[in-house]
Amino acid sequence: TRTIKLAVIPGDGIGPEVIEQANRVLDAALAGGEVALDRTEFKLGADRFLETGDTLPEAEQAAIAEHDAILFGAVGGVPGDPRLKNANIERGLLLKLRFDFEHYANVRPCTLFPGVESTLKQPGDVDFVVVREGTEGPYAGNGGRLRPGTPAEVATEVSVNTAFGIERVVRYAFETAQSRPRKKLTWVHKTNVLVHAGATWQRIVQTVAAEYPEIAVDYMHVDAATIFMVQDPSRFDVIVTDNLFGDILTDLAGAIGGGIGLAASGNINPDGTFPSMFEPVHGSAPDIAGQQKADPTAAILSAALMLDHLGLTADGDRVRAAVRADLATRGAATRPTAEIGDAVIAQLPQRG
Ligand code: NAD
Ligand code: IPM
Ligand code: MN
C-alpha cells in the first residue's frame, strides 16, 4: 500500500461543505485499491483569524509543506466585515501558499460536459485549459500607497515579470499543449499597452516555441480574448497568460463551462519541490454558506486533478467519468450539496 499524506484546508463559508464531499468521493474512488490517504486538517482562514488572530503561522506552513498534496476549499469572510479590516486572508494565506510553494502553473481546465447548460446560447465544443502564471505579475504585491487618505494620495501596484518565472510557466504550457490532440497554444497579454512585460513575454514565448515545432502558436490581446471566448470558445486549446489576466479569464471560462460551481483548478509545482494544491476556482460564497446549496462538483473535479498529479490518472478518470454521468442525468437541476456527493459516488465506475 502506498500512503499519500494529504493536507486539507477546508477554509471558510462553503469551503468545508464542498471539501467534505470531495473527501467522500476520494475515499470511495480509492477504496479497494493500493493507495491510502493519510489526512491532516488545518483550520485556516477567516474564521481561524477571528478566533486566534492567526493567518498562516510558520509552524503550520512548515507542517503543510511535509505533505504530498494539499486539498483547499475556499477562504475569505463576508466582504466588508469590519473585524476583517486589517486581515488579509487572501494574500496572507492563499497567495502566500501559492508563492512560497512555487505553484507557478495554475491549471484551470474548462470543459462543457454533456447535459450542462452553458451561459452561451451556442457554445460549440468547449474543451480548453488555461495555464495561469501563479507566482508573479501584478499579484507580486510590489507597490505602495503614498500619503494615504489625502488628496495627494498615490497608489502603485507594480507587475513583476521575471524571465525565469515566465519561461517556466510557458514551458509547462507548451508541454500541456504537446500532450493534447489539437496541439494549439494561445498566449494572451496586452502587449500593445503593457509594452515592457509584453515584450519579455513575447521574447520568451517565441524562444520556447522554436523547441515545439508541432504546436500551433497564436497571440491575442486579453480584451479580444474575452470576445473570442464568448463568441467561439472552440478556438481555444491551451491558453497561457499572466496571473491577473488568468484570474479574470478563468471566471469567464467558469461561466462558459456551466457555472463557477463546476470550475476546478490545480496550483501546480511541477518540480515537486513543494506540495501542489488543488482547489475550486470559486470563493467562500458567504451568500449561500451553511445552507447545503453549494455545488461540490468543482471541489470534486479539483480532487480528480490531484489524483492525476499524484500519478493516479486511472482514478482521476474514474472520478471525472462519475461527474460526467451525474451531470448528464441531473442537467441544470440544483440539489443539496451532499446529494451531489452521493450521486457522484453512485456513478463511480468499478476499478480495473
Ligand atoms: P465567490 O466565488 O465566493 O461567489 C460568487 C458567486 O458564485 C456567489 O453568488 C456564490 O453564491 C456563487 N458560488 C460560488 N461557488 C459556488 C458553488 N460551489 N455552488 C454554487 N454557487 C457558487 O466570490 P466572491 O463573492 O467574490 O467572494 C467571496 C469571498 O471568497 C471573498 O472573501 C473572496 O475574497 C473569497 N474568494 C476566495 C477564493 C479562494 O479561496 N480561492 C476565490 C475567490 C474568492
Ligand atoms: C482565485 C481567487 C484568488 C485569486 C483570490 C481569492 C486571491 O480569485 O483563485 O481565482 O485572485 O487568485
Ligand atoms: Mn479568481
Which positions are annotated as active-site residues? 139, 190, 223, 247, 251
**Domain boundary residue, one of 236, 257, 278:** 257
Q: Are 178 and 276 members of one domain?
A: no
Residue pair 201/131 in contact (Cβ under 8 Å)? The answer is no
Where residue 331 falls among pLDDT bands split at 50, 70, 90? Answer: low
Asked, for residue 111, whether it belongs to a domain, the answer is no
Q: What is the ipTM of this complex?
A: 0.98
What pLDDT is recorded for position 25? 98
Taking only the tens place, the pLDDT of each residue in 122-177 is: 999 999 999 999 999 999 999 999 999 999 999 999 999 999 999 999 999 999 99
Pick from 247, 279, 282 the residue to mutate for probing ligand 2's pocket: most ligand atoms within 8 Å of its CB.
247
Q: Are 137 and 186 members of one domain?
A: yes
What pLDDT is recorded for position 352? 75
Tell me the mean pLDDT in the region 115-120. 90
- CA dist 91 and 322 (Å) reads 34
pTM of the model: 0.97
Residue 188: give the domain boundaries: 118-144+159-257
Where residue 332 falls among pLDDT bands split at 50, 70, 90? Answer: low
**Domain boundary residue, one of 239, 257, 275:** 257
Is any atom of ligand 1 closer than 6 Å to the C-beta of 309?
no
Model confidence at 349: pLDDT above 70: yes
Give distance in angstroms: CA of 250 to centre of ligand 3.
7
Asked, for residue 19, whether it belongs to a domain, the answer is yes
Q: Are 127 and 233 members of one domain?
A: yes
Asked, for residue 189, whether it belongs to a domain, the answer is yes
What pLDDT is recorded for position 145? 96
- CA dist 127 and 108 (Å) reads 11
Per-residue cell: 73:
476549499
Residue 284 annotated as lining a ligand binding site = yes
Percent of the chain at pLDDT > 70 equals 99
Q: Count structural domains, the chain.
A: 2
Q: Are 205 and 280 members of one domain?
A: no
Quick one: three-class SS letters along 262-327?
HCEEEEECCCCCCCEEEEECCCCCCCCCCCCCCCCHHHHHHHHHHHHHCCCHHHHHHHHHHHHHHH
- CA dist 13 and 47 (Å) reads 9
Average pLDDT over the chain reads 96
Residue 294 annotated as lining a ligand binding site = yes
Looking up residue 132, the CATH number of its domain turns out to be 3.40.718.10
Angle of the 163-178 helix axis to the 195-209 helix axis, nearest 10:
40
**Domain boundary residue, one of 225, 257, 289:** 257
Pick from 48, 89, 97, 260 the residue to mutate for probing ligand 1's pocket: most ligand atoms within 8 Å of its CB.
260
Length of the chain: 352
Residue 293 annotated as lining a ligand binding site = yes
What pLDDT is recorded for position 139? 98
Where residue 330 falls among pLDDT bands split at 50, 70, 90? Answer: confident
Q: Are 129 and 252 members of one domain?
A: yes
Q: Are 192 and 271 members of one domain?
A: no
- CA dist 314 and 302 (Å) reads 15
Taking only the tens place, the pLDDT of each residue in 6-51 is: 999 999 999 999 999 999 999 999 999 999 999 999 999 999 999 9
Tell me the mean pLDDT in the region 326-336. 83
Give distance in angstroms: CA of 281 to centre of ligand 3.
6
Helix (H, G, I), strand (E, B) or coil at 119: coil
All residues at 6 or more sequence positions from 108 whose CB lies less than 8 Å from its CB, including other chains: 129, 130, 131, 132, 246, 250, 253, 263, 264, 265, 281
Q: Are 90 and 124 members of one domain?
A: no
* Amino acid residing at 337: T
Give distance in angstroms: CA of 60 to centre of ligand 2.
21
Q: Are 123 and 186 members of one domain?
A: yes
- CA dist 62 and 59 (Å) reads 5
Torsion-angle region of 53 (φ positive above 0: left; ψ -120 to 50: alpha; else: beta): left
